């Protein structure tokens, strides 16, 4: 099993709550994703909305709603739970964002397989 780690960013680029979009080469694939931090926990998802497959953000690094409670797709306003990635409002209820595996080591956040 591959155990490659690819550096994404340092933790200080994320507010709490906050989000951060990234685009990295990992295991021979370009991965477009985003990180969400809330209550000190980090979550990562592929930047592809289950509704149409388009990126969720129109504003760079902005993936949360105004309250910082849910992930928001800017295209048709779907909302997703931060912890599970499940759509709870909008045009794709019950569908989910694709989770990405990450490793937080000190102040560094890595994508892992």
Q: Taking contact as CB under 6 A, which single stretch among the options 18-26, 34-42, 49-57, 60-68 is the one that binds ligand FES? A: 49-57
Q: What is the CA radius of gyration of the chain?
A: 13
Nearest Cα neighbor of 101 from 52, 12, 33 is: 33
Site for ligand FES in 74-103 (CB under 6 A): 75-76, 78, 90-91
The backbone torsions φ and ψ at residue 80, rounded to the nearest 5 degrees and listed phi first, read: -130, 145
Instruction: Supply the minimum distance, in Å, between the C-beta of residue 42 and ligand FES.
Output: 22
**Chain contacts with ligand FES (rule: CB under 6 A):** 49, 51-52, 54, 73, 75-76, 78, 90-91
């Amino acid at each position: 099993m591959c155990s490659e780690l690819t550096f994404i960013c340092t933790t200080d680029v994320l507010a709490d709550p906050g989000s951060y979009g990234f685009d990295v080469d990992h295991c021979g694939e370009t991965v477009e994703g985003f990180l969400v931090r809330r209550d000190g926990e980090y979550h990562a998802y592929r930047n592809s909305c289950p509704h149409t497959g388009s990126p969720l953000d129109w504003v760079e690094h902005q993936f949360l709603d105004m309250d910082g409670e849910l992930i928001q797709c800017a295209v048709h306003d779907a909302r997703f739970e931060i912890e599970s990635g499940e759509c709870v409002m909008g045009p794709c209820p019950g569908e989910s964002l694709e989770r990405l595996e990450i490793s937080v080591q000190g102040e560094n956040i890595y994508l892992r397989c």
